Amino acid sequence: MGMTMTQKILADHAGLEKVEAGQLIEAKLDLVLGNDITTPVAINVMEGINKKTVFDKDKIALVMDHFIPNKDIKSAENCKICREFAASHEISNYFDVGKMGIEHALLPESGLTVAGDCIIGADSHTCTYGALGAFSTGVGSTDMAAGMATGKAWFKVPSAIKFVLTGKPGKWISGKDVILHIIGKIGVDGALYRSMEFTGDGIQYLNMDDRFTIANMAIEAGGKNGIFPVDDLAIEYMKAHGSRPYKVYEADEDAVYDEEYVIDLSELKPTVSFPHLPENTKTVDEIGEKIQVQQAVIGSCTNGRISDLRIAAEIIRGKKIADNVRCIVIPATQKIYLKALEEGLIKDFIEAGAIVSTPTCGPCLGGYMGILAAGERCVSTTNRNFVGRMGHIESEIYLASPAVAAASAVAGYITAP
């Protein structure tokens, strides 16, 4: 039996010729990631490990993004812990106010993630980097601590599901619609601890931002990771954003998959995930009623990249945000923010009546910059719509693409462009 892309990466990092699904391995790590919420816990754990410093100061990334700029005393204290740890251990890749960004947009942009890497991060959406052909997965803070100390992690080799993407998507169909469609099809536990491996000729029509979005939300289907083959577009992206060497792994012809799904991208329609699970999906034309919203959020590690902002601005430009809607736009990194400024996108948003935030996770996890009150509804480009995720337990979140979020902000109710 052959191996999947994920299995080949794990075998190589474990120093083994072959691995099989269910096998326990110890693999070397190329990057260990933490943020301002998870890193203080990991630092506390690491203090109990009999090792004076980290395994490699260049292979650890600490990104202050969830409550940055600090929203209260506790968040300030957490960042201080991270800041002092980064200084004392001379961590090369420490990102704070001024050079910050949402971690899963920032690290690929900074050239820290490339094809063939084995990456863990104390954040569930670390699976984002599979868009570049890396194995990346979220872990707890204890595993992050062990990774920082030893440069290794234990894994159970996952089995895989193959998603064959065919056809060319329509104008307003993005990676968000693709992954929401898939999650609606297989459920939030449909890929539990399995690798979601994407292939097919339809991939050529997905830009890198689309692929990052799809890989990012693999965890919302329960996936251990999501991963794309490395094509010319991925190589072009890696060369444009860094100089680290990469390695391309390809699935064997006889690789074993638990299931296979064929998704015709040309048939997809703008899709929305209803409260309170990402699997509760409907296409916009299936809704059948005007669902009024009081807030629209365009941003996050899922959809705060430049192409997302361009799509939203194209729809909002020259119009006005509905009187009953608070529209919050959050560029995912400083570079994206600057690019949006240069292209006039920020002007478009502000003239329409939206506000633009500095890069932050902010409202996505109910942190700040857009908390919901009881009875309020938000259409959001974020990745989770659990009960109380963005504020009050009686509020509601509708997950959507930037196109749908922008159109809904203008209309005042959930709609497509």
- My answer on whether 163 and 206 are in the same domain is yes
Question: How much is the pLDDT for 347?
Answer: 97
Task: Specify if 416 maps to a domain.
Answer: no
Compute, in degrees rounded to 10, the torsion defined by CA atoms 356, 389, 102, 26: -170
Residues facing residue 198 across a β-bridge: 163
Residue 47 pLDDT exceeds 90 = no
DSSP 195-211: EEEEESGGGGGS-HHHH
Neighbouring C-alpha atoms within 13 Å toward the C-beta of 238 = 24
Closest CA to 140 of 13, 41, 27, 29: 41
Cβ atoms < 10 Å from Cβ of 369: 18
Q: ∠ at Cα 17 (14, 23), nearest 5°?
A: 60
How confident is the model over 225-252, as a mean pLDDT?
A: 96
Q: How many domains does the chain have?
A: 2
Structure tokens at 242: 């860094």
- What are the pLDDT digits (tens) for 118-176? 999 999 999 999 999 999 999 999 999 999 999 999 999 999 999 999 999 999 999 99
Q: Are strands 24-28 and 152-156 parallel, antiparallel or unpaired?
A: antiparallel
Mean pLDDT for the chain overall: 96
Task: Specify if 323 maps to a domain.
Answer: yes
Question: How much is the pLDDT for 288?
Answer: 85
Are the CB atoms for 34 and 129 separated by under 8 Å?
A: no
CATH code of the domain covering residue 83: 3.30.499.10
Task: Specify if 27 maps to a domain.
Answer: yes
Q: Are strands 281-283 and 259-264 parallel, antiparallel or unpaired?
A: unpaired
Q: Binning pLDDT at 50, 70 and 90, where does residue 46 land?
A: confident
Question: How much is the pLDDT for 49?
Answer: 81
Structure tokens at 134: 């890396």
Task: Specify if 385 maps to a domain.
Answer: yes
- My answer on whether 342 and 383 are in the same domain is yes
Question: How much is the pLDDT for 52?
Answer: 78
- My answer on whether 284 and 245 are in the same domain is no
Structure tokens at 316: 């909002």
Would you call 136 helix, strand, or coil by DSSP? strand
Question: How much is the pLDDT for 21?
Answer: 96
How confident is the model over 27-45, as a mean pLDDT?
A: 96
Q: Domain range holding 394?
A: 272-411
- My answer on whether 66 and 213 are in the same domain is yes
Domain boundary among 263, 286, 317: 263
- My answer on whether 280 and 239 are in the same domain is no
Q: Cis check for the bond before 276: say yes or no (omega within 30 of 0).
A: yes
- What are the pLDDT digits (tens) for 290-345? 999 999 999 999 999 999 999 999 999 999 999 999 999 999 999 999 999 999 99
- My answer on whether 255 and 192 are in the same domain is yes
Domain boundary among 239, 263, 287: 263
- My answer on whether 291 and 206 are in the same domain is no
- My answer on whether 237 and 299 are in the same domain is no
- My answer on whether 248 and 354 are in the same domain is no
Question: How much is the pLDDT for 48?
Answer: 82
Domain boundary among 223, 244, 263: 263
d(CA 27, CA 330): 36
Task: Specify if 211 maps to a domain.
Answer: yes
Cβ atoms < 10 Å from Cβ of 201: 12
Residue % of the chain over a pLDDT of 90: 96
- My answer on whether 126 and 80 are in the same domain is yes
Sheet holding 271-273, edge to edge: 281-283, 271-273, 396-399, 377-380, 295-298, 326-329, 355-356
Question: How much is the pLDDT for 231?
Answer: 96
- My answer on whether 244 and 357 are in the same domain is no
Question: How much is the pLDDT for 66?
Answer: 94
Task: Specify if 56 maps to a domain.
Answer: yes
Task: Specify if 380 maps to a domain.
Answer: yes
Are the CB atoms for 315 and 352 separated by under 8 Å?
A: no
Task: Specify if 168 maps to a domain.
Answer: yes
Give the single-character DSSP code of 324.
Answer: T
Residues in the chain: 417
Question: How much is the pLDDT for 41?
Answer: 95
- My answer on whether 310 and 208 are in the same domain is no
